[in-house]
Amino acid sequence: MKAKMIFAAAALVVAAASAQAQEARYEFEKAVITTKTEMMGNPMITTYYISDYGKQEASEFKMDMSAMGGNVMNMRSVTQADGAVQFDINAKEGRKIDGQVNFLNLTPEVVKKHKIKEKGEEIINGRPCKKYEVNTEQMGMSVSSTVWIWKGFPVKTVVDGGMFQIETVMDTFDENGTIPEGIFEVPADVKIR
């Protein structure tokens, strides 16, 4: 149960990267991006599908939790005007999640709400990034994250939840990648709670 709770908190942080639409979020028009996350010995690959400078965005990840007594999780997040919907592709169940920080448009309200502090600039994987500290409450836990942002996208994220630390790093970036048909829509048979 503890592992599932930790995973759920981490999944929300990762999914939040795909959560706020209707304004440009990135300095690139279109891309297919993969990130790698190691969590408790379980690798997780997340694929982001981005169109129209982030006004349309979806992400998918799979994680095999069988070593911890769970199942294979196959999750998708789809950006909507008022946040995002995150759902289990196999179980056809999901929930609404809050919008996420748009690093191209950091308003004073967003900076205050997430206690964002700029921490300088660093080169990550050959990309010049702005480094930020972000503090949020997720599932009743305080979560501190350090993110390295390139063109609005998190090239690297380190999440520190006290009991756990999770690092996610951009693996591939393809501005000519194929975006699957219907990826930006929540299927009609998915139940949102």
**pLDDT tens-place string over residues 135-150:** 887 667 778 899 999 9
In angstroms, the CA 59 to CA 1 distance is 25
pLDDT of residue 10: 45
Average pLDDT over every residue of 17-27: 66
Measuring CA to CA, which residue among 19, 70, 65, 72 is closest to residue 39?
Answer: 65
Residue written as token pair 């995002």: 84
Q: What is the largest CA-CA distance in the chain?
A: 45
pLDDT of residue 176: 94
pLDDT of residue 44: 87
Q: Domains of the chain (ranges plus CATH)?
A: 2-188 (2.50.20.10)
Q: What residues are paired with 37 via a beta bridge?
A: 44, 168
Q: How many CB atoms lie within 10 A of CB 77?
A: 29
Residue written as token pair 């048909």: 181
User: Which pLDDT tens digit goes with each residue over 144-193?
Assistant: 899 999 999 999 999 987 777 889 999 999 999 999 999 999 999 999 98
Tell me if 126 sits within 8 A of 76, measured CB to CB. Answer: no
Helix extents (H) in 26-118: 108-113
Measuring CA to CA, which residue among 24, 13, 40, 5 is closest to residue 146?
Answer: 13
pLDDT of residue 193: 84
pLDDT of residue 62: 81
Token pair, residue 158, equals 């380190």
Q: How do beta strands 83-88 and 72-80 pair?
A: antiparallel
pLDDT of residue 179: 97
User: Which pLDDT tens digit goes with each residue over 98-122?
Assistant: 767 899 999 999 999 889 999 999 9
In angstroms, the CA 165 to CA 168 distance is 10
9 by Cβ neighbours in 10 Å (0-12 / 13-18 / 19+) ranks as buried
Q: How many CB atoms lie within 10 A of CB 176?
A: 7
Specify the DSSP class assigned to residue 7.
H
pTM: 0.82
More confident residue, 12 or 129: 129
Q: What residues are paired with 93 via a beta bridge?
A: 88, 191
With a pLDDT cut of 90, the percent of the chain lying above it is: 57
Predicted confidence (pLDDT) at residue 9 exceeds the cutoff of 50: no
pLDDT of residue 158: 94
Q: How many CB atoms lie within 10 A of CB 174?
A: 11
pLDDT of residue 67: 64
16 confidence band (pLDDT: 50, 70, 90): very low
